[in-house]
């Protein structure tokens, strides 16, 4: 999200002390929420400024572009949202609030302008854990976030990153246990208000030391910040990112907004809205033999990668579950793919409802392929025997046999 020239930098020594768990002051140097926070977690503390180059090309393997903005992007005047849309941007996050009192004066204008230009749009909040009041802070956010249950409003996002003012403790003066408890209370309150998990924006170098490597938030969609040519390592608890903020933006340059990519298709992006659009059927083609996964025998036989083309037996609907997992429903019989026998038996489309055996984690591999990990046993689905045997969730790691290409069917 947009940048701001900072009046002071957080010292590198302070950042290292926070990462190592050195005790930090209980009170921040600036007790107010003045709107200075913006999503800029992809650079290390002690090296943050507004003059960041955004010349990076869109990362390989991603096609859906987005931006995020705050009041700092109005340094040079209003944002030309039709021009943003014409450049190929499909989604935007707009800063709404910070702490318990700050409301971005341009939020409503940008929110409406982005939607009018045809973008799908979400609101974000810059978290202030130093206030130690997560419930009221979450309520203030949702009260002002203009959340709507329509197909153009993205789930809200909370920005959890470095403090931005001079002398601030790296982790806001909270211990890892206190930080995790604050985040849990905030995210739970947002979900209680809107019925959807809030997206978490952060950086691994902040999250892991400040939460003590808390891995319990993986059901929340992740926006990972990292201004690198390849996606940065993910924080504890996540196996894939939903959004990657890959370039920082510079509000001193016209139209130079922070740059994001969505990890998936546009149809999948719409699943993050208040009124998700029905997902189109998909097909999976095994890397090991180039054949499509089929619900053989109209779903009465185990799944096998033997379909030469995409027919009815090769079509599935991907279901995004509220806990962050996914399920596959075979179009041929309307049943869910199950890791039968707790993963000891071949996969078969015979589940009448979604239970633990029918839940998987979708892994987006760096080479553009996808893999499925069964939640019941933590093993990866493999096209055994180079695709001559039924699929089974038995692989401890991802190799060629565990990779699939996905197609809209």
How far is residue 367's CA from residue 371's CA, in Å, rounded to a whole number? 11
Q: What is the pTM of this model?
A: 0.73
39 has a pLDDT exceeding 60: yes
Q: What is the DSSP-derived secondary structure letter of residue 375?
A: T
120 has a pLDDT exceeding 50: yes
- Per residue in 152-208, pLDDT (tens digit) is 999 999 999 989 888 889 899 999 999 999 999 999 999 999 999 999 999 999 999
Domain limits, the chain: 12-272, 282-408
Q: Which pLDDT value is given to residue 164? A: 87
Of 68, 214, 314, 340, which residue is the catalytic one? 68
Annotation marks residue 161 as catalytic: yes
Q: Are strands 157-159 and 199-202 parallel, antiparallel or unpaired?
A: parallel
Closest by CA position to 187, among listed 231, 233, 222: 222
pLDDT confidence band for 240 (50 / 70 / 90)? confident
Lowest-confidence segment of 50-59, 138-147, 225-234, 377-386 by average pLDDT: 50-59
CA distances from 271 to 58, 147, 155, 288 (A): 22, 15, 10, 30
Burial of residue 7 (number of CB atoms within 10 Å: 0-12, 13-18, 19+): exposed
Give the DSSP letter string of 38-97: -S-TTS-TTS--S-----PPPPTT--EEEEEE-GGGGTTS---HHHHHHTTEEEEEEEEE
Instruction: Tell me the CA end-to-end span of the chain in Å, nearest whole number.
Output: 35
Annotation marks residue 109 as catalytic: no
Annotation marks residue 143 as catalytic: no
46 has a pLDDT exceeding 50: no
How far is residue 53's CA from residue 74's CA, in Å, rounded to a whole number? 18
Of 130, 137, 161, 268, which residue is the catalytic one? 161
pLDDT confidence band for 42 (50 / 70 / 90)? low
Of 110, 130, 137, 159, which residue is the catalytic one? 159
Query: 282-408 adopts what CATH topology?
Result: Trefoil (Acidic Fibroblast Growth Factor, subunit A) (2.80.10)
35 has a pLDDT exceeding 70: yes
Domain 12-272 falls under CATH 3.20.20.80: yes
Other C-beta atoms within 10 Å of 195: how many?
Answer: 11
- Per residue in 356-375, pLDDT (tens digit) is 999 999 888 878 899 999 99
> Length of the chain in residues, anyone?
409
């Amino acid at each position: 999200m947009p940048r701001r020239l900072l009046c002071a930098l957080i010292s590198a020594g302070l950042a290292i002390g926070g990462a190592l768990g050195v005790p930090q002051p209980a009170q921040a140097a600036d007790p107010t929420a003045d709107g200075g926070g913006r999503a800029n977690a992809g650079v290390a503390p002690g090296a943050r400024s507004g003059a960041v180059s955004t010349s990076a090309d869109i990362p390989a393997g991603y096609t859906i572009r987005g931006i995020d903005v705050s009041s700092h992007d109005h340094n040079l005047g209003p944002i030309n949202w039709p021009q943003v849309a014409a450049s190929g941007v499909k989604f935007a996050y707009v800063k709404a609030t910070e702490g318990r009192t700050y409301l971005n004066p341009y939020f409503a204008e940008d929110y409406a302008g982005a939607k009018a230009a045809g973008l799908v749009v979400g609101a974000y909040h810059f978290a202030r854990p130093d206030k130690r009041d997560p419930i009221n802070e979450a309520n203030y956010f949702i009260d002002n976030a203009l959340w709507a249950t329509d197909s153009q409003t993205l789930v809200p996002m909370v920005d959890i990153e470095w403090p931005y003012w001079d002398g601030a403790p790296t982790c806001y003066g909270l211990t890892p246990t206190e930080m995790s408890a604050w985040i849990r209370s905030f995210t739970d309150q947002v979900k209680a208000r809107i019925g959807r998990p809030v997206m978490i924006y952060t950086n691994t170098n902040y999250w892991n030391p400040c939460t003590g490597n808390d891995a319990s938030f993986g059901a929340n969609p992740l926006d990972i910040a990292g201004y690198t040519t390849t996606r940065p390592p993910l924080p504890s608890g996540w196996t894939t990112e939903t959004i990657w903020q890959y370039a920082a933006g510079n509000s001193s340059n016209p139209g130079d907004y922070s740059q994001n990519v969505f990890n998936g298709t546009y149809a999948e992006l719409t699943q993050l809205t208040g009124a998700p659009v029905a997902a189109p059927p998909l097909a999976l083609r095994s890397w090991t033999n180039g054949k499509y996964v089929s619900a053989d025998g109209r779903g009465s036989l185990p799944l096998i990668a033997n379909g030469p083309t995409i027919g009815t037996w090769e079509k599935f609907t991907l279901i995004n579950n509220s806990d962050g997992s996914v399920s596959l429903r075979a179009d041929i019989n309307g049943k869910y793919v199950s890791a039968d026998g707790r993963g000891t038996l071949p996969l078969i489309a015979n589940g009448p409802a979604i239970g633990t055996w029918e839940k998987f984690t979708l892994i987006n591999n760096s080479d553009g392929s996808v893999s499925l990990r069964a939640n019941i046993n933590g093993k990866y689905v493999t096209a055994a025997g180079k695709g001559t045997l039924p699929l089974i969730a038995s692989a401890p790691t991802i190799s060629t046999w565990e990779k699939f290409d996905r197609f809209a069917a």
